Amino acid sequence: NAGVTQTPKFRILKIGQSMTLQCTQDMNHNYMYWYRQDPGMGLKLIYYSVGAGITDKGEVPNGYNVSRSTTEDFPLRLELAAPSQTSVYFCASRGNQPQHFGDGTRLSIL
Amino acid sequence: DQQVKQNSPSLSVQEGRISILNCDYTNSMFDYFLWYKKYPAEGPTFLISISSIKDKNEDGRFTVFLNKSAKHLSLHIVPSQPGDSAVYFCAASTNAGNMLTFGGGTRLMVKP
């Protein structure tokens, strides 16, 4: 099925470890986004991209990095995991229609 | 400073009745508003949207109303069905849906 695919679905990290959350879309969308959702809260924009090679910060970018080498992929990198980064992370893409979301990655940092 | 607020964390409605979910915003530059629906362990799915040039948009059982002077929008679901039980997020944008600002969500429970 066409859509946004996020891997892994779940992950537990130790403080100070690093990891990359993967996001791939097969809809040839130019726009891609990373959000985090903390318990009981709405989604907050971390980073976004308007096309391959172009990225920009959102509302809460500290502690994260992104890259966009292809139209399909938009990985999110955590370099030094901190407990405050425990959250559910959603990737989204957009063409001419509203943003289409993946099913999320639940990340716990202990 | 929350620019988009959903003041009711939860709402319980009887099947067949109307569900009304509310959303308030503070940024007068917002010109496009959306509602997303989210089931547990899934990503949000787009439900309905409205541009600031309109005051109402309807899609089947779902209607969104926009009151620009009050900076308020609402989502009406008629009739409500048990399958509508989910968390509903209101979102707003200043640039036609590119960057979205989300509210905190309202959990709707529709009782059979």
CA torsion angle A103 A109 B2 B6 (round to 10): 50
Phi-psi region of A3 (alpha: psi -120 to 50; beta: other; left: phi over 0): left
Residue A45, chain B, CB below 8 Å: the answer is yes
Residue A38, chain B, CB below 8 Å: the answer is no
pLDDT tens digits along A2-58: 799 999 999 999 999 999 999 999 999 999 999 999 988 899 999 999 999 999 999
Give the separation between CA B7 and CA B1, rounded to whole angstroms.
14
User: Minimal Cα distance from A47: which residue of B?
Assistant: B99
On chain B, the residues whose CB falls within 8 A of the CB of A99 are 46, 97, 100
Nearest CA to A32 out of A18, A59, A61, A52 is that of A52
Q: Do B4 and A42 touch (CB under 8 A)?
A: yes
| DSSP label of A73 | B
Number of residues that make up chain B: 112
Helices (H), chain A: none
Q: Among partner residues B49, B98, B104, which is closest to A41 by beta-carbon distance?
A: B104
pLDDT tens digits along B11-69: 999 999 999 999 999 999 999 999 999 999 999 999 999 999 999 999 999 999 999 99
Tokens of A40: 């009981």
| DSSP label of B6 | -
Q: Do B97 and A94 touch (CB under 8 A)?
A: yes
